[in-house]
Amino acid sequence: MKTYQIATIPGDGIGKEVVPAGREVLAALAAETHGFRFQFEDFDWGGDYYRKHGVMMPADGLDALRGKDAILFGSAGDPDIPDHITLWGLRLKICQGFDQYANVRPTRILPGIDGPLKRCSAADLNWVIVRENSEGEYSGVGGRVHQGHPIEAATDVSMMTRVGVERILRFAFRLAQSRPRKLLTVITKSNAQRHAMVMWDEVALEVSRDFPDVKWDKELVDAATARMVNKPATLDTIVATNLHADILSDLAAALAGSLGIAPTGNIDPERRYPSMFEPIHGSAFDIMGKGLANPVGTFWSVVMLLEHLGEHDAAARVMAAIEHVTADTSLHTGDLGGTAKTVDVTRAVCDFLARKEERKAA
Ligand code: ATP
């Protein structure tokens, strides 16, 4: 029987609640499936680790993850540690160390969820945002001089390489091609940012010639926000830079009903390294430790993880379980206006997985 090696990194805040819930769902699935099983290894990296060791993860941490089939990640963020340390010391270290250059973020309005857009039906909003995840505005290039003096200067240089731009656009065209509508929107800001963003437009045109069956258009990022709200059905697959897609995907998550639902995958499309799956929300310290976190974003991340492993039937089963559970408003957590707890939602998903198997066997 195939055994998948899965690393779990709960990290900080509600990550410590939703990742164990995700692991429970994977274990419940494996128990019923008989086709494969999981071997989990848990890593206690994050804010608490930093307080003990002065680093968010050990220097040889990537080596411990290298042989895994996938990573399930929670969140990194701590009220007592600056955000740039928690982010660069853990999540980005893994994303960059394993060259997970494609960040993929599906968005849909799941059954039972009341999205904030009055004129939008669930069928109108079915997007997948592809975020460039290795360079651009978050490449980490820049510096500060004369700190604290009036002449202080600071730069964050946005690095765009032709290789980096071409590989993310190629990935996005391929993804768009695999979806029923075969529709891609390339988002830039090539009017004001007249160097790298113009290169994006040029490379997009070049790459598009290899995908004649994909219909594509271009949109400026500011106009894209309005289009997402006013004409959601005109969008399907969306590709944008690291910063732009970071912002657009939070907007997308909010339009789909809650930050607590949205998943993401940090993918190495060439499969040289393990890919990492996580809910898009952060550590949410306001609700941590109370059992209130919505685990659906993590469960949907588990679906993406299973798809990445090629376990498409299992992925579809977990997605069906999620949709069954969101359709029942008594299983909505506080972020969706309900009173359910993390444990209630987790139990309902696991129960559904078990029930489905019974029905299949009968
Ligand atoms: P970070 O700084 O790590 O990004 P944050 O607390 O600033 O974290 P988020 O955690 O992304 O930002 O979310 C903002 C708010 O949305 C939280 O304070 C919380 O109230 C709510 N929220 C986010 N995720 C969830 C969830 N899974 N379940 C319930 N509420 C959530």
Residue 361 pLDDT: 47
Question: Does ligand 1 lie within 6 Å of residue 259's CB atom?
Answer: yes
Please check whether residues 55 and 90 belong to one and the same domain: yes
Count: domains in the chain: 2
Structure confidence at residue 35 (pLDDT): 87
The predicted structure's pLDDT at residue 189:
96
Same domain, 121 and 247: yes
125 with 251, same domain: the answer is: yes
Is 308 in the same domain as 239?
Answer: no
Give which of 273, 246, 270 is closest to 7, Cα–Cα: 273
DSSP 111-169: TT---S-TT--GGG-EEEEEEE-SSEEEEEEEEEESTTSTT-EEEEEEE--HHHHHHHH
25 & 82 share domain = yes
25 within a domain of the structure (yes/no) = yes
How many residues comprise the chain? 362
Considering the domain architecture, whether residues 131 and 233 belong to the same structural domain is answered as yes
* C-beta of 74 in contact with ligand 1 (< 6 A): no
In a domain, 107, yes or no: no
Q: Ligand 1: distance of its center to the CA of 273 in Å?
A: 29
Q: What angle do CA 158, 162, 166 make, to 5 degrees?
A: 110
Last residue of a domain, one of 229, 255, 281: 255
- Residue 16 CA, distance from chain mean position: 17
Least confident of 18-27, 97-106, 115-124, 154-163: 115-124
Query: What is the torsional sign of CA 273, 307, 108, 22?
Result: negative
Same domain, 203 and 242: yes
pLDDT of residue 356: 57
Q: How far is the CA of 143 from the centre of ligand 1 (A)?
A: 29
Residue 110 placed within a domain: no
The pLDDT of residue 98 is 98
Query: Residue 111: inside a domain, yes or no?
Result: no
Average pLDDT over every residue of 33-56 = 94
pLDDT at 122 over 90: no
Same domain, 250 and 120: yes
- What is the per-residue pLDDT for 210? 98
Give the model confidence (pLDDT) of 158-173 as tens digits. 999 999 999 999 999 9
Give percent above pLDDT 90 in the chain: 93
The CA 229 to ligand 1 mean position distance, Å, reads 22
pLDDT at position 308 over 90? yes
b/e sequence 144-154, b meaning 16+ C-beta within 10 Å: eeeeeeeeeee
Q: Say yes or no to pLDDT of 360 above 60.
A: no
User: Which H, E and C letters describe 43-68, residue by residue?
Assistant: CCCCHHHHHHHCCCCCCCHHHHHHCC
Nearest CA to ligand 1 atom 31: 260
352 and 290, same structural domain? yes
Domain with 15 in it: 1-102+261-362
- The C-alpha R_g of the chain, in whole angstroms, comes to 20
Residue 358 has pLDDT above 80, yes or no: no
- Residue among 81, 91, 287 to mutate when testing ligand 1 (max atoms within 8 A of CB): 287
- Please indicate, yes or no, if residue 312 is contained in any of the structural domains: yes
Mean pLDDT value across residues 167-186? 98
Residue 344 lies in a domain: yes
Mean pLDDT across the stretch 115-132? 92
Domain identity same for 250 and 268: no
Q: What is the CATH number of the domain that holds 136?
A: 3.40.718.10
Ligand 1: distance of its center to the CA of 281 in Å? 5
Please give the mean pLDDT across all residues of the chain: 95
Ligand 1 atom nearest the C-alpha of 280 is 11
Task: Say if ligand 1 is within 6 A of residue 281 CB.
Answer: yes
Higher pLDDT, 357 or 40: 40
Q: Which among 255, 277, 293 is the end of a domain?
A: 255
Residue 362 has pLDDT above 50, yes or no: no
Residue 179 has pLDDT above 90, yes or no: yes
Residues 228 and 359 grouped into a single domain: no
In a domain, 109, yes or no: no
pLDDT tens for residues 244-275? 999 999 999 999 999 999 999 999 999 999 99
The CA 287 to ligand 1 mean position distance, Å, reads: 8
Q: Closest ligand 1 atom to the C-alpha of 14?
A: 27
Say yes or no to pLDDT of 239 above 80: yes
Position 301 in a domain: yes
Question: Can you give the pTM of this predicted structure?
Answer: 0.94
Give the per-residue pLDDT at 355.
84
Domain boundary among 234, 255, 276: 255
Same domain assignment for residues 280 and 243: no
229, two tokens: 């709200």
Contact 297, 72 (CB under 8 A): no
Site to probe by mutation for ligand 1, drawn from 281, 287, 342 as the one with most ligand atoms within 8 Å of Cβ, is 281
Residue whose CA is at the smallest distance from ligand 1 atom 12: 282
pLDDT band of 33, cuts 50, 70, 90:
confident
Q: Is 249 in the pocket of ligand 1 (CB under 6 A)?
A: no
